[in-house]
Homo-oligomer: A and B are copies of this chain.
Amino acid sequence: MTQPRGRDALRDRARRVFEAAVAAVDPGEVVRRSLAARGQTLVVGQARLPLRRGGRLLALAVGKAAVPMLAAAERILGARLSAGLAVTKRGHGEPLRRSRVLESGHPVPDEAGLSASREVERLLAGLSADDVVLVLVSGGGSALLPAPAEGITLAEKQAVTSLLLASGADIGEMNCVRKHLSRLKGGGLARCAAPARVATVVLSDVVGDPLDVIASGPTVPDPTTFAEALAVLERRAILGRVPAAVRQRLEAGVRGELAETPKAGDPIFAGAVHHLGGTNRVAVAAAARAARKLGFRPLVLTTSVTGEAREVAAVLAAMAREVRQSGQPARPPCCLLSGGEPTVTLRGQGKGGRNQELALAAAFGIEGLAEVVLLSGGTDGNDGPTDAAGALCDGTTLSRARALGLDPRRHLAENDAYPFFEALGDLVITGPTRTNVMDLHVVLVGAERQRAGTRRRKR
């Protein structure tokens, strides 16, 4: 090909930085970094849990990464593990050496999920204070373990969810209500396991890593109350439309006739350990190390970026321009890194995902810049309904696209980034990674040795 080597090298390095970040949050890697067994002591993050004689050690993995997480835990725990159970998304199951594997519905909960929840409760029933439960949580855990509270059916719970969504309720309001209609969410799983000690390792797919939100916080104190749940339904003007059993339950809860979700300070959390083993920040830090090894000064901007993908792209591109023009916020060669989960407001009928759209929008902002590459990729390897994790762009993206007869503005307007980057060979394809800590944005700015698009004299 006639592309200059310098540019290809920079693009290749951006891919390597992204791959290093994804590797650092591989579910098995996360468990290996978070968990160790030394003699009769279990080490979870910074915490040490003595395994008592006669006590059992159970492992429960829930979420889309449940199988690889539990597989790694099995290897670490060896014969110390009394029993294990993984509940994962249909199609994600694989046999494990010492543990049972159950599949259930995601993102829509189903009967298999109800049955899996009962299996979980059975596993945790009747434990003693000598027992330890290792809980491995990853994204999707909430839908995979539906456990409607007594007197509520799954259909009724889902009806409330639909009403909340349609009413414009935010994620905090949704969780507040749903935790009060569930046996396992909002600390319910920890209550089942009591008086056993519970240690949780979390692979976070939520911006900001709030433990009470990830997988609905099954082992985490719930800061919300029945009264607040009822207030949400009133505020969102759907109290009159939720199933009668739901309203009755919440009202009974407010009257103090039902047990509240477990709160901070509850003795069931006395020995509880929570370790954020895999987060966007962990991935970004690995990206920073990889960039440094490749000769780029890393600068982490944020790990909780949200907002419209094309707008995030504009801000990142503005920073890339600033690096080129004034050596700020970092002197090139450098690597600006951010992470999080932007969104896309669909306007067109095209094929793409938020990462590909971000890269396409960024191409406008860095057009013509020499030695600048921006890669946006989802750590799960699936950007929108595509087989790509994301895409990358540089200062020549728009001109190369136009040379191929593509209209970049039209592709952006149509949310149609996939065919655009496919034609350019600039998709980032990793295949499913089995992990998910949201997205990464890698901006590499090389030392400016040449103008973009011109060849070096010496080949």
Contacts and interface: CB of A to CB of B under 8 A. Distances in A.
Interface of A: 208, 281, 299-308, 311-312, 314-315, 318-319, 321-322, 325-326, 328-329, 338, 340
A300 B312 contact: no
Contacts of A321: 208, 302, 304
Contacts of A328: 299-302
Contact of A315 (B208, B315, B322, B329): B315
A164 to B, nearest CB: 16
Contacts of A325: 281
Contacts of A315: 302, 305, 307, 311-312, 315
A339 B311 CA distance: 15
A301 B314 CA distance: 13
A322 B307 contact: no
Nearest to A327: B300
A120 to B, nearest CB: 32
Given A281-B326, A302-B329, A304-B322, 17 more contacts: A281-B325, A300-B322, A302-B318, A302-B319, A302-B321, A304-B318, A304-B321, A305-B315, A306-B314, A307-B314, A307-B315, A308-B308, A308-B311, A311-B311, A312-B315, A315-B315, A318-B338
Contacts of A303: 318, 322, 326
Nearest to A328: B300
10 contacts: A301-B319, A302-B318, A302-B319, A302-B322, A303-B326, A304-B322, A308-B308, A312-B315, A315-B315, A329-B329
B329 A300 contact: yes
A208 B338 CA distance: 23
A195 to B, nearest CB: 33
Contacts of A302: 315, 318-319, 321-322, 328-329
A320 B34 CA distance: 28
Contact of A300 (B281, B307, B311, B326): B326
